[in-house]
Amino acid sequence: MSGLFSEITVGSTVLRNRFVLPAMQRGLAVDYALTPHLIEYYRRCAHGGAGLIITESVAIDHPTSTGHDGFVLMIDQSRAASWTRCIDAVHGEGSRILVQLNHTGACRVENAGGPRPDMASLSPSGLICAGKPNGRAATIVELAEIRDGFVSSAMFAREFGADGVEVHCAHGYLLDQFLWSETNLRADEYGGATLAARARFPAEIVRAIRQAAGEDFLISVRFSQWKEVDYAARIVSSPQELAPFLEVLRDAGADMFHASTRRFYEPADPGSGKTFAGWVKSQTDAPVVTVGSVGLNVDVMDTIYTDKAIEGRTQESFERLEALFAEGQFDLVAVGRSMMSDPDWVTKVRDGRYGEVVPFRREIVKQALSEWDDSAIKGAARQHNP
């Protein structure tokens, strides 16, 4: 049997295999709370074989963390019962679960919902991307409040039984806005000419969570080159640039790195033999997760913004994954839309039943997005990537 079905220990947490359900907004939340449909979705993916479940993004405990009512979750004492049910359901199927924590930063739409719609959106420098302002730069005091919000949300996750959290530093949201030189123009200690220097604020958050939650609480950090407002964006141009950045986060307490790409198999650079996950893996001793269009020919952003025909490519994807895994380019693989359409995807692939996989349909995503009001990030994404 493929090594992808072998156990792996991440931090102090043992996962039964290398397959991960990544965070994907399903549009099933009500008043920022888990619903029975959403809980059942996570349970079914765990039952179907995923060794690790990562919840859709949870807006951290801060009034400017989100503007999307119903499209993201929150975690606090008032929502304890549903979170406990969800986590217990996943554990009951033999899987582990992380709560993904996020702050949208300059991608938030002011006066469009959220806990405090009247407040300005906060970010490193008030930019969603170069030349596109939104909100304003956060003060040092406000950054401390945001850091505390991450910790507060992480501690609720621990209290309710989660195995850990994933700190979202990808796709152009707040913590990624600190990493990206285009959106972090700060001249204080949270800016800098290098990626490692600009990682100070995300690292402070990871360190604060580690100190509060203890050593047995798994912390994953998800980051990316691409942004939803600019698919061609890059935070590094070589694997060597990653080393000091990864070391900063590792020293702060990160157990795992989730290297987000739109297509898991693409080289990180033209002519390179390594994927972006391969770049990350070559520069750290921490387990690395690869992700991006597993089992499909169309990436997630094209699923939302174009009408490209979607074809299922389960066996081809799995063979590519096995080859990259054998080369040591990653340790775990996140399977998103394919598992969304068929929660038994892992079990069917394990048994070689490729022809029985239920194909992904664009309607699964569009039904959720139909209720999502237009936002700054979607508007900017359309302008950058028509």
pLDDT at 385 over 60: no
For residue 322, give both structure tokens: 């096995």
pTM exceeds 0.85 for this model: yes
8 A C-beta contact, residue 81 and residue 147: no
Looking at residue 362, its pLDDT comes to: 83
Model confidence pLDDT, tens digit, residues 125-170: 999 999 999 999 999 999 999 999 999 999 999 999 999 999 999 9
pLDDT at 386 over 50: no
Structural domains in the chain (count): 1
User: 217: buried, middle or exposed (CB in 10 Å: 19+, 13-18, 0-12)?
Assistant: buried
Q: Which domain holds residue 265?
A: 3-384
Q: Which helix (H) or strand (E) holds 49?
A: none
pLDDT at 373 over 60: no
Distance CA 166, CA 98 (A): 6
Q: What CATH number did the domain enclosing 342 receive?
A: 3.20.20.70
What's the pLDDT band for 70 if we cut at 50, 70, 90? low
Looking at residue 273, its pLDDT comes to: 87
pLDDT at 98 over 70: yes
More confident residue, 359 or 283: 283
pLDDT at 1 over 80: no
